[in-house]
């Protein structure tokens, strides 16, 4: 069975049946105003923070799964039949249903009884609003009289409160309607200076703003009373549930097409100019009216849509590859880059699996998201780095998360995830290699956002490293704290009480349990910081960090090696985790990937040995599992990892995020065939041929694919917001294709399958366009480079002289 196909030319995925196994979603907006939209127009919108500025309401884990969204109803006024062009919520028998998810937009539509209707949804660049452009065509031979109803349900801003605090919420809802524009102003009377508006380009036959009136008591979205009747109630919400619904009557001649535009937007007023006339409770609409008027014009909508298209065209053109594999091309050139934008913007906050309430931006997550995004909009990466660093504590430690709106560290979750600070070094290193903007290291950045505590960013990096050195355990390996990358390996938690958070409960002192993973990560971070220090004129520090890396490398080699693979950790009793001595959880993926990535084992054959163990014990046709054997029961001393049934999530699921670490490790030992094979196993486009098993969107990575111990082995879950996006982008572009920015030049070091005859890449780097064509002569990975016609030594293209904007590179692999 198939649910759709890729349209690579248009950079779209075209869904051709509405009943996908789970909702297949897209993101609207990429700056401040965001929407999530499913293939049946479900989802919600928010401004900056999915929890604190939620514009529209959405009920997670609903029945059906996806209900509530940006709905349009059509009603044939001759016979009263009604339907929704996006299929939900009426679920009529649609002809030629399609949903085209594209770069920052979705177009959803269908034909019903010879009335064709489709809606384009998008957020114009630079605006805090979304546009729905509905096109209706009468394919009948007779004139048709239609009623069109729009409908959204407003969220009372704080999504958490909105979903829980009904004793208050049912009395606070307020609305204004002026010239057909519906203004949602709950809490505007008090401390909010923002409101939402919902406008329509046509003359209205009526409107509704109270949910109960529009839907009718005891009825549902499937058949709202107003739509059934063909007439709005002109209801005004006072408390209860404010909604926005417009009613437009249309007469369409045979063959005629009409366009209707709806706008949903967010607007803020200065505090002292909230009301007009002053002293009243009426929203001051002076500054929002021009925006509304502008985007209700069809020409403006077309312009804005075109501009969005050009914007994405430019972003995607920064890295384009033509390889012998279509799945690689499609993911690299379109969808993986696109997903990196979403993870950069959302971190792990808002998807169809992340409710937008629970988590802000993760410190660790955001630093990794940078890796796949930094080449696209370096200025935003810069800003993010400074924001993240400003939440760092003066101990070098980090809050695990921060809130995007306040940019403050999140006290509920706190810190002591001992890998967190090291990710800042890796994020900054990637930024420096991409941009050469060494000035960022001198930027004054506070600790914990405290004014007066500013120190240069460079010093933050030093403290990050020192944080690990200050917290070494009995084997001189890094103490793990609450958890390292694996949030669920909670070695100091010892929780036996239901409901306690595995991430914040800490019953042990934390002076014993150590992480080999952080050991590997430290080696990488210290090596990067040494390279940065050298170029930043701190040779003495550079020597210190190089020495620290060497010491840790030796420690990992002595105490972190199990004979055939790297150990995972030592628990609170000082016993090994991820060892042949264990009965369950003998081998873990993370240290194999990360220790090798940091260079450990490359000179003594351990890397190859460990990777062979991974292949033997962890690899499945659906990807590489996190550990084996799965934990069959809950272990007090291991925490959340053992709370999952075998095969899911961190308990031996295929946690896609760390597959690319192994892929990169394979390239480091020169094994392009295996690296690429692993890459394809989790490549969503390649998995579309087993979509009934995979079930999630075939155009983006999911966090997890069920491991072999699960009854649903191969089924993906938690699509979109995962570190897999950035890391796979890095793995394929920088390590398999091997086009890698370094501090001193652009490296060309492909480790591609032996069967590939070659490939081409266009890569924009520091203002220069590199046209690289790679041809294979032999079976190996040795590279010879001819740059602008001249053969050069080694595999790093030096930065060209000023004024040169195009460089042509011919590489041969021997
Ligand atoms: C989730 C978290 C990430 C963590 C991973 C493994 O993806 O967002 O921070 O590293 O799970 O537990
Ligand atoms: C849960 C998830 C894990 C995630 C963590 C973040 O434990 O299973 O994947 O990293 O929450 O706090």
- Give the model's pLDDT for residue 94: 84
Q: Is 359 in the pocket of ligand 1 (CB under 6 A)?
A: no
Q: Please state the atom number of ligand 1 nearest to the C-alpha of residue 365.
A: 9
Task: Output the pLDDT for position 21.
Answer: 97
Give 183-228 pLDDT, tens digit per residue. 999 999 999 999 999 999 999 999 999 999 999 999 999 999 999 9
Atom of ligand 2 nearest to the CA of 644: 8
Q: What is the tens place of the pLDDT at every residue in 146-168?
A: 999 999 999 999 999 999 999 99
The packing angle between helices 378-390 and 457-469, to 10°, is 50
Contact 368/726 with Cβ under 8 angstroms? yes
CA 157 to CA 417: how far, in whole Å?
31
* 502 Cβ below 6 A of ligand 1: no
Whether pLDDT at 404 is above 90: no
Whether residue 365 has its Cβ less than 6 Å from ligand 1: yes
What pLDDT band is residue 358 in, cutting at 50, 70 and 90? Answer: confident
- How many CB atoms sit inside 10 A of residue 758's CB? 17
Tokens encoding 484 = 């390292």
What value, to the nearest 5°, has the Cα angle with vertex 377 and ends 374 and 381? 55
Beta strands in 276-417 (DSSP E): 319-322, 361-362, 401-402
Which ligand is in closest contact with the Cα of 359? Answer: 2
- Report the separation in Å between the CA atom of 51 and the middle of ligand 1, taken as the mean of its atom positions: 20
CA distance 42 to 28: 12
Contact present, 182 and 198 (Cβ < 8 Å): yes
Question: Of all atoms in ligand 1, which is nearest to the CA of residue 347?
Answer: 8
Q: Burial-class residue 223 by CB neighbours within 10 Å (0-12, 13-18, 19+).
A: middle
Among 90-99, 431-440, 480-489, the least confident range? 90-99
Q: Which residue's alpha carbon is nearest to atom 5 within ligand 2? A: 487
Q: Pick the residue whose CA is nearest to atom 11 on ligand 2.
A: 487
- Average model confidence (pLDDT) across the chain: 97
Rounded distance between C-alpha atoms, residue 152 and residue 209, angstroms: 9
Alpha-carbon distance of 734 to 204, in angstroms, equals 55
Q: Does pLDDT of 51 surpass 90? A: yes
Cβ neighbors of 645 (< 8 A, separation 6 or more) are 651, 710
Cα 488 to ligand 1 centroid, rounded to whole Å: 8
Tokens coding 556? 């990992």
Nearest alpha-carbon partner for 344 in 389, 385, 309: 385
Please, which pLDDT band fits residue 405 given cuts at 50, 70 and 90? confident
| Distance in angstroms (rounded) separating the CA atoms of residues 475 and 559 | 7
Tokens of 175: 């609305």
Under a CB-based contact definition with an 8 Å cutoff, are residues 22 and 695 in contact? yes
Residue 798 token pair? 């030096």
Share of the chain above pLDDT 90, in %: 97
Q: Which ligand is nearest to the CA of 410?
A: 2
Query: Residue 370 and residue 430: Cα distance in Å, rounded?
Result: 8
Q: Give the number of the ligand closest to the Cα of residue 722.
A: 1
Residue closest to 196 by CA, chosen among 288, 298, 105: 288
Question: Which of 402, 650, 655 for mutating ligand 2's site (highest number of atoms within 8 Å of CB)?
Answer: 650
Whether residue 172 has a cis bond before it, omega within 30° of 0: no
Q: CA-CA distance, 350 to 49, in Å (whole number)?
A: 9
Distance CA 110, CA 2 (A): 18
- Cα 333 to ligand 1 centre (Å): 26
pLDDT tens sequence across 368-389: 999 999 999 999 999 999 999 9
Helix (H, G, I), strand (E, B) or coil at 8: coil
Task: Name the residue at shortest CA distance from atom 3 of ligand 2.
Answer: 487
Q: Report the residue among 344, 365, 422, 642 best suited for mutation to probe ligand 1: largest number of ligand atoms under 8 A from its CB.
A: 365
What distance in angstroms lies between residue 484's CA and the mean position of ligand 1's atoms?
9
Active site residue 487: yes
The bound ligand whose nearest atom lies closest to the alpha carbon of 361 is 1
How far is ligand 2, taken at its centre, from the CA of residue 594, in Å? 20
Helix (H) or strand (E) holding 101: strand 95-102
- Among 492, 355, 335, 480, smallest CA distance to 420 is for 480
pLDDT of residue 285: 98
pLDDT, tens only, 754-785: 999 999 999 999 999 999 999 999 999 999 99
Atom 7 (ligand 1) nearest CA: 722
Inter-CA distances, 720 with 346, 642, 656, Å: 10, 25, 12
Question: Which of 344, 347, 362 most suits a substitution to test ligand 1, by most atoms within 8 Å of the C-beta?
Answer: 362
Give the Å distance between the CA of 702 and the centre of ligand 2: 14
DSSP string, 769-789: EEEEEEEESSSS--EEEEETT
Pocket test of ligand 2: the residue of 360, 503, 641, 723 to mutate, having most ligand atoms within 8 Å of its CB, is 503
pLDDT at 153: 98
Percent of the chain scoring above 70 in pLDDT: 100
Ligand 1: centre distance to CA 487 (Å): 6
**How large is the average pLDDT for residues 314-322?**
98
Residues 547-576: what's their mean pLDDT? 98
Q: What is the pLDDT of residues 453-492, one digit of tens each?
A: 999 999 999 999 999 999 999 999 999 999 999 999 999 9
Q: Tell me the pLDDT tens digit for each residue of 320-351.
A: 999 999 999 999 999 999 999 999 999 999 99
SS3 category, 759 = strand
Distance from residue 487's CA to the centre of ligand 2 (Å):
6
Give Cα separations from 767 to 91, 323, 671, 764 (angstroms). 50, 24, 32, 6
Instruction: Report which of 14, 12, 55 is spatially closest to residue 35, judged by C-alpha positions.
Output: 55
Beta strands in 325-454 (DSSP E): 361-362, 401-402, 444-445
Active-site entry in 419, 420, 487, 709: 487
Which residues pair with residue 105 across a beta bridge? 102, 122
Ligand 1: centre distance to CA 407 (Å): 20
Closest atom, ligand 2, to C-alpha of 486: 10
359 has pLDDT over 80: no
Residues 6+ away with beta carbon under 8 Å from 575: none
pLDDT grade, residue 407 (50/70/90)? Answer: confident
pLDDT the model gives residue 478: 98
Q: Residue 503: CB within 6 Å of ligand 1? A: no
Q: Which residues line ligand 2 (CB under 6 A)?
A: 487-488, 503, 640, 649
Cβ burial of 641 (10 Å; 0-12, 13-18, 19+) is buried
How many CB atoms within 10 Å of residue 553? 22
Burial class (CB in 10 A: 0-12, 13-18, 19+), 203: exposed
Count of other CB atoms within 10 angstroms of residue 599: 16
Best residue among 656, 657, 724 to mutate for probing ligand 1's pocket (most ligand atoms within 8 Å of CB) is 657
- Residue 444 has a CB neighbour count (10 Å cut-off) of 12
pLDDT digits (tens, 9 = 90+) for 534-551: 999 999 999 999 999 999
Residue 572 DSSP class = T
Is residue 732 predicted with pLDDT exceeding 90? yes
* Distance between CA atoms of residues 155 and 333, nearest Å: 36
Is there an atom of ligand 1 within 6 Å of 482 CB?
no
Reply yes or no on whether the pLDDT at 601 is more than 80.
yes
């Amino acid at each position: 069975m198939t649910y759709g196909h890729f349209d690579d030319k248009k950079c779209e995925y075209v869904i051709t049946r509405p009943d996908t196994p789970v909702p297949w979603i897209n993101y609207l907006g990429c700056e401040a105003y965001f929407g999530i939209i499913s293939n049946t127009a479900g989802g919600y919108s928010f401004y900056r923070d999915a929890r604190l500025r939620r514009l529209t309401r959405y009920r997670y884990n609903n029945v059906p799964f996806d209900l509530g969204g940006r709905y349009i109803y059509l009603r044939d006024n001759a016979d009263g039949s009604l339907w929704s062009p996006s299929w939900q919520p009426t679920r009529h028998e649609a002809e030629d249903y399609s949903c085209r998810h594209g770069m920052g937009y979705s177009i959803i539509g269908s034909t019903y009884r010879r009335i064709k209707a489709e809606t384009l949804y998008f957020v114009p660049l630079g605006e805090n609003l979304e546009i729905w452009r509905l096109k209706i065509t009468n394919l009948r031979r007779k004139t048709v009289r239609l009623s069109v109803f729009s409908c959204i349900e407003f969220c009372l801003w704080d999504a958490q409160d909105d979903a829980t605090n009904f004793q208050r919420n049912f009395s606070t809802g307020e609305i204004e309607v002026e010239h057909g524009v519906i203004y949602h102003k709950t809490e505007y009377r008090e401390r909010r200076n923002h409101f939402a508006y919902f406008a329509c380009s046509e003359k209205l036959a009526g409107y509704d703003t109270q949910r109960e009136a529009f839907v009718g008591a005891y009825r549902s979205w499937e058949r709202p009373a107003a739509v059934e009747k063909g007439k709005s109630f002109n209801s005004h919400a006072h408390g209860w549930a404010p909604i926005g619904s417009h009613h437009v009557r249309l007469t369409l001649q045979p063959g005629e097409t009409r366009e209707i535009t709806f706008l949903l937007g967010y607007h803020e007023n200065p505090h002292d100019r909230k009301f007009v006339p002053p002293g009243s409770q009426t929203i001051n609409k002076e500054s929002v009216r021009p925006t509304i008027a502008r985007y209700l014009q069809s020409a403006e909508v077309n312009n804005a849509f075109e501009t969005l298209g050009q914007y994405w065209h430019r972003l995607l053109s920064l890295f384009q590859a033509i390889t012998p594999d279509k799945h690689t091309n499609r993911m690299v050139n379109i969808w993986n880059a696109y997903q990196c934008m979403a993870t950069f913007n959302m971190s792990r906050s808002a998807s169809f699996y992340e409710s937008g309430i629970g988590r802000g931006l993760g410190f660790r997550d955001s630093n990794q998201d940078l890796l796949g995004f930094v080449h696209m909009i370096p200025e935003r990466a810069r800003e993010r780095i400074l924001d993240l660093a400003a939440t760092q504590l003066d101990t070098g430690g980090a809050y695990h998360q921060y809130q995007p709106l306040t940019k403050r560290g999140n006290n509920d979750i706190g810190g002591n995830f001992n890998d967190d600070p090291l990710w800042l070094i890796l994020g900054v290193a990637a930024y420096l290699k991409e941009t050469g903007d060494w000035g960022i290291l001198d930027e004054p950045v506070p600790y914990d956002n405290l004014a007066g505590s500013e120190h240069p960013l460079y010093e933050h990096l030093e403290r990050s490293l020192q944080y690990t050195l200050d917290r070494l355990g009995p084997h001189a390996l890094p103490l793990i704290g609450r958890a390292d990358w694996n949030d669920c390996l909670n070695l100091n938690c010892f929780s036996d009480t239901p409901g306690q958070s595995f991430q914040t409960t800490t019953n042990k002192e934390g002076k014993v349990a150590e992480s080999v993973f952080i050991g590997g990560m430290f080696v990488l971070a210290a090596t990067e910081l040494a390279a940065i220090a050298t170029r930043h004129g701190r040779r003495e520090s550079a020597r210190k960090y190089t020495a620290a890396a060497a010491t840790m490398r030796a420690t990992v080699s002595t105490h972190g090696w199990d004979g055939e693979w790297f150990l995972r950790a030592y628990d609170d009793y000082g016993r090994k985790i991820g060892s042949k001595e264990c009965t369950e959880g003998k081998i873990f993926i993370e240290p194999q990937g990360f220790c090798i990535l940091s260079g450990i084992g490359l000179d003594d054959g351990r890397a190859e040995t460990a990777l062979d163990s991974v292949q033997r014990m962890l690899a499945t046709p659906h990807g590489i599992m996190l550990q084996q054997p799965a934990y069959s029961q809950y272990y007090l001393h291991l925490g959340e990892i053992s709370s999952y049934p075998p095969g899911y999530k961190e308990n031996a699921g295929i946690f896609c995020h760390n597959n690319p670490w192994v892929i990169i490790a394979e390239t480091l030992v020169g094994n392009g065939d295996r690296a690429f094979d692993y890459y394809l196993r989790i490549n969503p486009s390649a998995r579309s041929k087993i979509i009934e098993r995979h079930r999630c969107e075939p155009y983006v990575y999911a966090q997890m694919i069920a491991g072999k111990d699960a009854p649903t082995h191969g089924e993906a879950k938690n699509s979109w917001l995962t570190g897999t996006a950035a890391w796979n982008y890095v793995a394929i572009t920088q390590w398999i294709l091997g086009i890698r920015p370094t501090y001193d030049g652009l490296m060309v070091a492909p480790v591609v399958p032996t069967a590939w005859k070659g490939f081409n890449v266009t890569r924009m780097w520091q203002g220069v366009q590199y046209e690289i064509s790679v041809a294979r002569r032999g079976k190996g990975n040795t590279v010879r480079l001819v740059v602008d016609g001249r053969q050069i030594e080694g595999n790093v293209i030096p930065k060209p002289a000023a004024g040169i904007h195009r460089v042509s590179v011919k590489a041969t692999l021997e």
